[in-house]
Structure 1
């Protein structure tokens, strides 16, 4: 008895289900098979895009200072430092014996006067740069005023860097003057053995024991990352571009900036070899453990877009009129929307115009064969997107009808 009851109940439900399907399909204006089903859709939003040029790099000293010796005014006695020594301004580097005190004193005074003239010229330049800096628009605390332009901010940063570099040059020249005046004082005291001191901070890179010039090479404490670019790559890289530096030594990614792009190849050009162009990147993180000789992974950001609409390239289609995306409009139909694109990076495409933030788009339109402009659409249930408060306001008949349409449309 129970089996018969189950059999007839199942049969009745099946007939009812089939009859309902047939009614909805044959009914005039039926939505079944006249709509497209969209499984994958997303909401458009703003994001950042960066096009990077990855290159291997090596850490090296940012600057090298060269110490020369003129044997016409004396004879070399001995080095007071060795290769690898850390030196600072005022550190004794070598001793030499003066053979003509009068001539040597005259040469030293001439060098002092030359450096003093250079300092005056540099200080005049600093004054001009500071005047130019003060003429730039300043950031105001008044929110009603127009904010400072990005170009003005960039100019101010560059001016500050240039002023700082000039001030450092003045300090080095003043240190060198102190060194020369000390030697003049020793000559006045009838000293015949004089000591030459360093005017810079750094590491002794090389000593010429054959007394060839430069006698001493001092590598600066500050470091840079160098790399070589191909003929195609060099035209895409400019000074002041941002970069990132990674290595096995540093766990964190270090920030950098391109400081030098050579317009000349590293070696003499030759028909049988590719030309390579050296590029320098300054590490902006002062606290790092990278030393000259460390090998790193460098990425130069050649293009950068901030706060733009970004869609996956899978959502973009092309036809004879251009590029377009499929938008899920608020009236429940699919809209074929023409767009203008920009930068593409790693499967992500910048949308310059045609799509606004917050609009829904189809992620994989190629998977929907019946996709046409103005076609109604239905989507699968995504519980995270359901507005439960709004759902409660719908009548039961509307909910049931749309539920049945959704079930029937699934294939």
Structure 2
């Protein structure tokens, strides 16, 4: 190629570039300007979890008071000590009854009441078993839902059976007390109804005489006024314990009255209690962190929060189309979690979007360019490309605007 021809080609290149730059930069130019996109991102499926984080402390799940009615007779002795571990049926204290048969009648009434409660729970268990048999499986989504329903039913049946066993054991305890009074003298022994630890003994015979705290722990604490409206009993909880795996559970109490006296001068705090699925390694008084799960959305379509921009009342993303152009796509936002936003309408899974919507300035697009990576260009790759293909890419880049 002669020197004159080379000069002519160079002049044409400079002229083409100059014309392109003029068309792009002159005021009122109608030429499309390519947007410089630093990064793209695919929409993806994630589980969106909305939660309220609160502090908590491990506490007894239940405290049972035992009273001594002085009108029934004369107090004898306490048969346990504070901090002592007891089981259902452990003797707590004894007294001498003034009217033995009145005491027997009272115990028989308590026994009958407890047996009725056990029978009622048995009826409920039968209803749950019958309902479980009616749950049907059809599509994949419904199968997952049905599996969750069956799991919850089986858990309810298990819990109800435990409650029924406790009532039956309590009825047996009353029967033993009745037999003890009937076969001996007028001395009455008060027995523990449940397993636990002796929390308090009132040696002055005030009320209650003995308090038994259950061995099973709950987590208790308070919920801030600003969060109370989000919380309902039955919500899942996740308890974070130092040096242990997270423990799952369920919120069993969400107080509707403040923990302390109501005041206009300070925000109210409401008591809560959460039952735990397991308690190994926990001890009473241990401080923990609790996440109350207020909402959980499975397989939500999400994009980075930075990918969304707003015009007026509408939200948009810049979607990267298969033809290599940008499309301003209207979307509907859902829930937000840790920098990701749910898209309920406008995108499907694995669609490519501009990571930072602000990269696309006004009047830019639908064409775009991305950062060059000259370090990835080697002599070998250029040799493999071939002269004709290299020229094609050069001309395409030259005329891309």
TM range (shorter): 0.7 to 0.9
**Residue of structure 2 in register with 1:225 after alignment:** 219
Query: Of 319, 325, 331, which residue of structure 1 is paired with 2:317?
Result: 325
How many angstroms does 1:295 deviate by? 0.9
**What is the CA distance between 1:158 and its match in structure 2?**
4.6
Q: Check whether the contact 1:202–1:220 (CA below 8 A) recurs between aligned residues.
A: yes
Aligned-residue offset at 1:121:
3.3
Distance 2:216 2:338 in 1: 34
How far apart are the structure 2 equivalents of 1:74 and 1:263?
41
Paired residue for 2:189?
195
Distance 1:62 1:25, change over 3 A: same
Q: In 2, are the aligned partners of 1:137 and 1:148 still within 8 Å (CA)?
A: no
> Shift of the alpha carbon at 1:29?
12
Deviation for aligned residue 1:305: 2.2
| Residues 13-24 of structure 1 mapped to structure 2, 5 A cutoff | 19=11, 21-24=13-16
CA contact (8 A) 1:243 1:255 kept: yes
What are structure 1's unaligned runs of at least 5 residues?
1-11
From 252, 259, 266, the equivalent of 2:259 is 266
Shift of 1:200: 0.6
Tell me, in whole angstroms, the C-alpha distance in 2 between the residues paired with 1:205 and 1:190. Answer: 30
Q: Distance in 2 between matches of 1:334 and 1:37?
A: 11
RMSD over equivalenced CA pairs, Å: 3.7
Cα distance change on mapping 1:319 and 1:394 into 2, 3 Å: farther
Are 1:305 and 2:304 counterparts?
Answer: no
Which residue number in structure 2 is paired with residue 278 of structure 1?
A: 271
1:340 equivalent to 2:349? Answer no
Describe the shift of the 1:153–1:29 C-alpha distance in structure 2 as closer, same or farther (beyond 3 A): same
Partner of 1:97: 96
Q: Structure 1, residues 169-217: CA drift from partner, whole Å, max 9, x if none? A: 3322322232222233233333343432222111111112121222221
2:40 paired with 1:41: yes
Cα pair 2:38 2:359 within 8 Å, conserved: no
Of 359-368 and 80-89, the range deviating more from structure 2: 359-368
- When residues 381 and 123 of structure 1 are mapped into structure 2, their CA distance, relative to the original with a 3 A threshold, is same
Other structure's SS at 1:293 match = coil
Is the 1:52–1:299 Cα contact (8 Å) retained in structure 2? yes
Deviations 1:320-349 (A, max 9, x none): 361111122111211111111111122211
Which moves more between the two structures, 253-262 or 100-109? 100-109
Cα contact 1:179–1:196 (8 A) shared by 2: no
Q: 2:388 aligned with 1:397, yes or no? A: yes
TM-score normalised by length of structure 2: 0.82
2:312, 2:69 → 1: CA distance?
76
Structure-2 separation of matches of 1:352 and 1:382:
36
**Residues 97 and 330 from structure 1, CA distance in 2 versus in 1: closer, same or farther, beyond 3 angstroms?**
same
Say if 2:287 is the partner of 1:295: yes
**1:64-143 alignment runs, 5 A limit:** 64-134=63-133, 136-139=134-137
Q: Give me the whole-angstrom Cα distance separating, in 2, the residues matched to 1:49 and 1:17.
A: 58
Counterpart Cα distance in 1 of 2:349 and 2:186: 80
Shift of 1:110: 3.1
Task: Give the C-alpha shift of residue 245 in structure 1.
Answer: 1.3
**Distance between the aligned counterparts of 2:154 and 2:302, measured in 1?**
35
Task: Name the CA distance, whole Å, in 1 between partners of 2:93 and 2:123.
Answer: 34
Deviation digits for residues 219-242 of structure 1, max 9, x if unmatched? 112212122122221111122322
Q: Which residue of 2 aligns with 1:57?
A: 56
Structure 1 residues 360 and 187: alpha-carbon distance in aligned structure 2, compared to 1, 3 A threshold:
closer
Cα 1:15–1:51 change in 2 (3 A) is: farther
How many Å separate the matches in 1 of 2:56 and 2:394? 60
Measure how far apart 1:292 and its partner are. Answer: 1.9
The CA deviation at 1:21 is: 4.6
Q: Is the Cα contact below 8 Å between 1:378 and 1:406 reproduced in 2?
A: no
Work out whether 1:254 is the aligned partner of 2:247: yes
CA distance, structure 2, for counterparts of residue 300 and residue 82 of structure 1: 37
Mark the runs of 5 or more structure 2 residues left unpaired by the alignment.
25-31
50-59 or 155-164: bigger deviation: 155-164
**CA shift for structure 1 position 60:** 0.9
Q: Secondary structure at the match of 1:103?
A: helix
Q: Is the 8 Å Cα contact of residues 204 and 216 (structure 1) preserved in structure 2? A: yes
